[in-house]
Chain A
C-alpha cells in the first residue's frame, strides 16, 4: 500500500520548524519558496555567510528536502531498479548519492539514500517524486510514504562543525565517517536529552553534518548550537551563500544545472547522467534499472555534450554565458549554467555544458560575459579552461576524526 501526506498544493507556503528562529536572525527578511516551504535566501550578507561555511560553521535549514520512507521486503530491489547506482552493498548506517532516470535515460532528479535497516530506506530529494516512485513500485512489495513534514533537517557545515557538535553535547560524533549516519543523543545540563539522526553528508564539499530531528526538537537544537557557536562565528546561512559553496564543490543544482526530464517541455533540453558527468553513478553491471537500455545505447554512441568545470579568466562571474570555439565568438559550443567568483580558490569558476570536442581537461573555450558598469553595458569575450572538478576539496572533508579547530 502506498500512502501520501496531505496535498501540499492546497496549502500556502509552509513554515519550517526553524522559521521563528530564522526570522529572529534575518536582517533582510529575504525569504524564498522551496518545495512548498518558505526558506531564507540571505540572512545578513552573502559574503559573511559564505565565510561562515568555509572558515567556521554554518547552519542551513534543509527541512524542505523531500523525504520518503521506503520499506518492505522488496525495498532494496525497488531502489536498485529505480536508481542507476548499485545499492546492494549499502548497509545500515550508510548513505549514497544517487540519480534516477526516465525510460529514455534522462535525469529525473538526484538525491541521497539512507539505509536505515535491511528493509527500510530513506530517500531525500529536492522535488516531489511520489508519482514516479509509485510507477516504479509496480510489481514490488514496497511501501512508500512521504515523511517530509515529520522530520526537521539542519545542515551544520564548516571546518569547526565537528567541534561545534561535540561542544553541543553530541558525544561520539567525531567517529562518524563520510556517507555514514547514526543515532545520537544530545545531552545538555538543564535540558531533556534529545535523540536525533546525524549523517556526515552535505552540499558544501567541506567537513559537515546533517541533523535529522523531530520537529519539536528543532528550536532547542538550534538554540544549543548557536549558544555554543555564535561566539565562535557560527551563523545561520541562506541559500545564496550555500550556492557559492556548492559550485566550489562542483555539485549540481536541479533546475539550474539540469531540468528534470519530468518537467522539460522542449525536446532535447533534458540531460542524461552521462552528459552531466555522473557516469560514475551508472552501474551497467548490476542488472536492469529504468533507463539502462537507453543509457547503454548512449554510451555506445558517446554523449554529444558534457558538463564540465571551467576556470574563467578575470574575476567577473560568467553568469549564463554562451561559450564559443574561439575569441571571434562565431561558433557556439556550449553555455554556462552556474558561475561564481570563488573567494577561497581565488578563481572565477563556472559549470558549463559543452560539446563533446571540448570536454577534456585543458580544453579552451571562450565565454561571452556582459558587464554592467553603472548602467553602461560592456561585452567581454574571455578565455575559459576546462579544469578538474571539484574546484575545492579540502582534506578535512574526509578526515576521521576531524581536527577540532
Chain B
C-alpha cells in the first residue's frame, strides 16, 4: 500500500453533514480531508442548472432544520451565506381558488386576510407543539445514550430526557403519551374542521417519509420536524439556492484548515487488525487516516465501503434490514413567465404552495405506492424560488421546484417508461391550480427516487438515508451497535443523515459525530 498522505481524519462525502463534521474536527486541531465523489461539494444541498439559464436547488429546496446556533458557530454569513427570503410562509392551495395562509403562527383566509374558522384551534395546536418540541429539542444535539450499559454518561442522558419530559406537566405528558405513537390523521380529526388545513398539516407530517396520514407514527415525524425546525413556518431560501449554503459550509471548512477534494470517490475503507487504516479511491489512490468519518448512508458505508467481512453477522443483518427507500421525487420546471395560481396574488408566490387539499387526498396518493404505482393526483410541495431570488432564472422568467410524493422506488413498467407519463400527470395536477402553467413550461426535469439515489449517491434515494420511524429513531438509529456515531470497527464513524437526529438539511448529525470523534485521543 502506498501512503499518499496521512490525515487524522478523512471524511467521506462533502454534503452538509460531512462539511459540518470536518469543520468542527479541524477547529479542534485535527488534520482533516474531505473526499467528495461528485465534481462539486454540497451533496443533496446543491444548486445546479437543469435547463440553459435556469438553476434550481436540485434536491432539498427549503432550509428550515439547520439550527441558527449552528449557523452562528460556523459563521456561515461571514462565509458568504445570504438570504433570498427568511420567513417563507405556507399557502394551502384549494382547487376552487380560496387558499389558506399559514405564517408566523397565524392562520388566515388569503383572499380576505381574515382569520380562518380553525384559527383558534390552530394556535392551540401550535402552542402544544412548541411545548413538546421545547422538551424534545435538546435531544437532537445529543449523542443518543446506549441502553443497559450502566455507564454514568448513558444513565445521565436518559435521566435528563426523562426529567425534561416529566416537566411537561401531567396534562401535556398525557397528551404526548397518547398521540406520540398514533397517526396524524386522527389527531387532526379531533382538532380541526377545514379539510384544507388538515391536508396542509398532514403534509408536513408525512413529507419525505414512507407513510400516509393514517400511518401510525406520523405524529412522531411531525414532532421531529417541529423539534428540528422550531415550527414549519420558519422556512428560508438561501440566495442562490441551497448550493450557496453548502458553499458557505465549504468556506467555513477551508477557513478552519480542512482540505477539500472533489471527484474523489471512496471505494473501500481499509482495515488492519480491526482498526481503520485508510481509504482507497477510484483510480487506486490510497489515503491513510487514523479515523474515517462517513457521511454516506449506513448501508453504503458499512456494507459496501467497509464490507460485512469486518462486521458480526447479526449486526450486518440489522444494517441490511434498514428501511432506506425513498418515496419522494423532485420536479423542476423552467417557466417563461410567472404562472397564475387561482386566488394567489403574484406577490404571494414567494411562499411555499401545498397541493394537498385534504388528508384523504394524501392518503389516496399514498395508497398507490403499496402496489408499485403512483397516484393520478399526487401530493406536492411547490416553491417558485425565482420570485424571491431572480438570479436563478433569466430575466422575467421563473423556476418552479416541487417535492412530489408519493413515487415508489420501483414502479410498474420502470421509471424510463413512466417518467414522461408522470410528468404529464404532474403538469395536469398543477394546471388544476394554475391553468396557464403547462403552456409556460420551457423545460422540465423529473427525479424519481432511483434518480435521487444516483445523482446524490444515497442508497435507496431516501433523503433521511434511513426512514425516520420509531424503530429507526434516536436510541436505535441507525441500528443498535452503531448508535453513537461509532461503527464496530475502531476508528470508523458515521456522521450522515442515517444517524441521530436524521436528515433534512440540519447538520446536527455532523456536529454530534465530530464530538464523538474528539472524545478519542488524537
Residues of A within 8 A of B (CB): 77, 81-82, 102-103, 132, 135-136, 138-140, 287-288, 290-293
For the complex of A and B, 5 pairs with smallest distance between CB atoms: A139-B308, A103-B312, A136-B313, A135-B317, A103-B314
Give residues of chain B (285-322) contacting chain A, Cβ–Cβ below 8 Å.
303, 307-317, 320
* Closest A residue, CB atoms, query B480: A103
With A138-B303, A138-B308, A139-B303 as contacts: A82 and B274 at CB distance below 8 Å: no
On whether the beta carbons of B309 and A139 are closer than 8 Å, the reply is: yes
On whether the beta carbons of B310 and A288 are closer than 8 Å, the reply is: yes
Interface membership of B80, Cβ < 8 A: no
Tell me how far the C-beta of B270 lies from the nearest C-beta in chain A, rounded to whole angstroms.
13
With A138-B308, A140-B308 as contacts: A132 and B313 at CB distance below 8 Å: yes
On whether the beta carbons of B316 and A139 are closer than 8 Å, the reply is: yes
On whether the beta carbons of A293 and B312 are closer than 8 Å, the reply is: yes
Chain A residues lying within 8 Å of B311, measured Cβ to Cβ, are 288
On whether the beta carbons of A138 and B317 are closer than 8 Å, the reply is: yes
Interface membership of B488, Cβ < 8 A: yes
Distance, CA A288 to CA B311, complexed state (A): 7
On whether the beta carbons of A293 and B314 are closer than 8 Å, the reply is: no
Distance, CA A132 to CA B313, complexed state (A): 8
Chain B residues lying within 8 Å of A135, measured Cβ to Cβ, are 313-314, 316-317
Distance, CA A335 to CA B488, complexed state (A): 35
Distance, CA A137 to CA B515, complexed state (A): 34
On whether the beta carbons of A293 and B274 are closer than 8 Å, the reply is: yes
Tell me how far the C-beta of B490 lies from the nearest C-beta in chain A, rounded to whole angstroms.
9
Q: Which of A77, A135, A292, A293 has the most CB of B within 10 A?
A: A135
Tell me how far the C-beta of A294 lies from the nearest C-beta in chain B, rounded to whole angstroms.
8
Chain B residues lying within 8 Å of A290, measured Cβ to Cβ, are 312-314
Give residues of chain B (314-368) contacting chain A, Cβ–Cβ below 8 Å.
314-317, 320
Tell me how far the C-beta of B272 lies from the nearest C-beta in chain A, rounded to whole angstroms.
10
Chain B residues lying within 8 Å of A132, measured Cβ to Cβ, are 313
Tell me how far the C-beta of A219 lies from the nearest C-beta in chain B, rounded to whole angstroms.
40
Q: Could you list 28 A-B pairs, sorted by A, with CB under 8 Å?
A: A77-B309, A81-B313, A102-B313, A103-B313, A103-B315, A103-B481, A132-B313, A135-B316, A135-B317, A136-B313, A136-B316, A138-B303, A138-B308, A138-B313, A138-B317, A138-B320, A139-B303, A139-B307, A139-B316, A140-B309, A287-B309, A288-B309, A288-B311, A290-B312, A291-B312, A292-B312, A293-B274, A293-B488
Chain B residues lying within 8 Å of A81, measured Cβ to Cβ, are 308-309, 313
Q: Is the interface of B mostly helix, strand, loop or mixed?
A: helix
Distance, CA A292 to CA B274, complexed state (A): 10
Chain B residues lying within 8 Å of A136, measured Cβ to Cβ, are 313, 316
* Closest B residue, CB atoms, query A135: B317
Tell me how far the C-beta of A240 lies from the nearest C-beta in chain B, rounded to whole angstroms.
35
Identify 15 new A-B residue pairs, CB closer than 8 A, beyond the known A288-B309, A293-B488. Answer: A81-B308, A81-B313, A102-B312, A103-B315, A103-B481, A132-B313, A135-B313, A136-B316, A138-B316, A139-B303, A290-B313, A291-B312, A292-B274, A292-B312, A293-B312
Give residues of chain B (195-243) contacting chain A, Cβ–Cβ below 8 Å.
none
* Closest B residue, CB atoms, query A100: B313
Tell me how far the C-beta of B424 lies from the nearest C-beta in chain A, rounded to whole angstroms.
39
Give residues of chain B (64-112) contacting chain A, Cβ–Cβ below 8 Å.
none
On whether the beta carbons of A82 and B309 are closer than 8 Å, the reply is: no
Chain A residues lying within 8 Å of B309, measured Cβ to Cβ, are 77, 81, 139-140, 287-288
Distance, CA A292 to CA B312, complexed state (A): 8
Distance, CA A292 to CA B511, complexed state (A): 31
* Closest A residue, CB atoms, query B481: A103
Chain B residues lying within 8 Å of A293, measured Cβ to Cβ, are 274, 312, 488
* Closest A residue, CB atoms, query B309: A81
Distance, CA A102 to CA B317, complexed state (A): 12
Chain A residues lying within 8 Å of B310, measured Cβ to Cβ, are 288
Chain B residues lying within 8 Å of A287, measured Cβ to Cβ, are 309
Chain A residues lying within 8 Å of B320, measured Cβ to Cβ, are 138
With A138-B320, A139-B307, A293-B274 as contacts: A82 and B488 at CB distance below 8 Å: no
* Closest B residue, CB atoms, query A133: B313
Distance, CA A287 to CA B309, complexed state (A): 9
Tell me how far the C-beta of B189 lies from the nearest C-beta in chain A, rounded to whole angstroms.
42
Tell me how far the C-beta of A109 lies from the nearest C-beta in chain B, rounded to whole angstroms.
13
Tell me how far the C-beta of B464 lies from the nearest C-beta in chain A, rounded to whole angstroms.
22
Distance, CA A382 to CA B303, complexed state (A): 55
Distance, CA A102 to CA B303, complexed state (A): 19
Distance, CA A291 to CA B316, complexed state (A): 12
With A138-B303, A288-B274 as contacts: A82 and B312 at CB distance below 8 Å: no
Distance, CA A291 to CA B310, complexed state (A): 11
Distance, CA A81 to CA B308, complexed state (A): 9
* Closest A residue, CB atoms, query B490: A293
Distance, CA A135 to CA B318, complexed state (A): 9
Distance, CA A24 to CA B400, complexed state (A): 84
Give residues of chain B (116-152) contacting chain A, Cβ–Cβ below 8 Å.
none
Chain B residues lying within 8 Å of A288, measured Cβ to Cβ, are 271, 274, 309-311
Chain A residues lying within 8 Å of B303, measured Cβ to Cβ, are 138-139
Tell me how far the C-beta of A352 lies from the nearest C-beta in chain B, rounded to whole angstroms.
30
Distance, CA A82 to CA B309, complexed state (A): 9
A-facing mask of B453-485, CB < 8 A → 1, else 0?
A: 000000000000000000000000000010000
Tell me how far the C-beta of A85 lies from the nearest C-beta in chain B, rounded to whole angstroms.
16
Distance, CA A135 to CA B309, complexed state (A): 12
